[in-house]
Amino acid sequence: MKIKTTAGCLLTGALICSPASAEQLWSTFSLTYLNGSEYEVGDDDRQVITVEHASAHSWGDNFFFLDRLKSDNGYTENYMELSPRLSLGNLTGRDLSFGPVKDLLLSGTWESGEGFDNYLAGIGISLDVPGFRYFNANLYHVNNENKDDDQQLTLTWGLPFELGSAEFLYDGFLDWSTSESDHAAEMNFTSQLKWNVGKLFDARAPVYVGVEYAHWNNKFGIDGVDERNPSFLLKWHF
């Protein structure tokens, strides 16, 4: 799994809204390679190629990723998410910031995998947390195709830091969803610790190496199936 940068003010940490326009503020595209050996549900050993695109606009933000997973046993599958958010500050033409809250947003996500499509809708907030490049929270109602509907809380964050001249980024997401009659409550805490090696050869955009760690309780809502999976990571931004 990759990091759900759940778009938005993810990379800039701010929304600049204009009610009369739909200006693109920034966008980024990246490719990620993961290699892990402690997956649950299916083959233990997998390689994952992820395509990601995130962008911010005067109307809000958008995030998309597509995973191509290949197991050592030859099995392959695809999984994608599309997550747009609409700024209520932009929609109403008002400054909705207060305290650590920078903006309120209408949030949605489309999850699509092998044999299912889930649709999430709810409310999001962008937070100003000292030291963090971004910190976001979304609360969703989830319309699941193959199991009972539930509710989900999603947190995303990015924390840049430096050690000497070396640049690092610790980012990730936490998904927590409620239990229902046919599945257990689920918690997926996945984060990446990455070193920008692109700085060594003056790359125009970050080139990261590092590790992703997935701490996933009741994976896919299956009671007692807990994943603890470290993966080697290589990520190239364009």
CATH architecture of the domain with range 24-237: Beta Barrel (2.40)
Angstrom distance (rounded) from CA 77 to CA 144: 19
pLDDT at residue 26, as a whole number: 87
Tokens of 72: 């050592």
Domain boundaries, the chain: 24-237
Angstrom distance (rounded) from CA 107 to CA 124: 6
pTM for this predicted structure: 0.89
pLDDT at residue 21, as a whole number: 56
- The two most distant CA atoms of the chain are separated, in Å, by 54
pLDDT at residue 103, as a whole number: 94
238 residues of the chain, pLDDT tens digit each: 444 544 333 333 333 333 445 788 889 999 999 999 999 999 999 999 999 999 988 899 999 999 999 999 999 999 999 999 999 998 888 999 999 999 999 999 999 999 999 999 999 999 999 999 999 999 999 999 999 999 999 999 999 999 999 999 999 999 999 999 999 999 999 999 999 999 999 999 999 999 999 999 999 999 999 999 999 999 999 8
pLDDT at residue 23, as a whole number: 85
CA atoms within 13 A on the CB side of 163: 7
pLDDT at residue 66, as a whole number: 98
CB of 191 closer than 8 Å to CB of 212 = yes
**Ramachandran region, residue 115 (left: φ > 0; alpha: ψ -120 to 50; beta: rest):** left
Alpha helices in the chain (DSSP H): 88-92
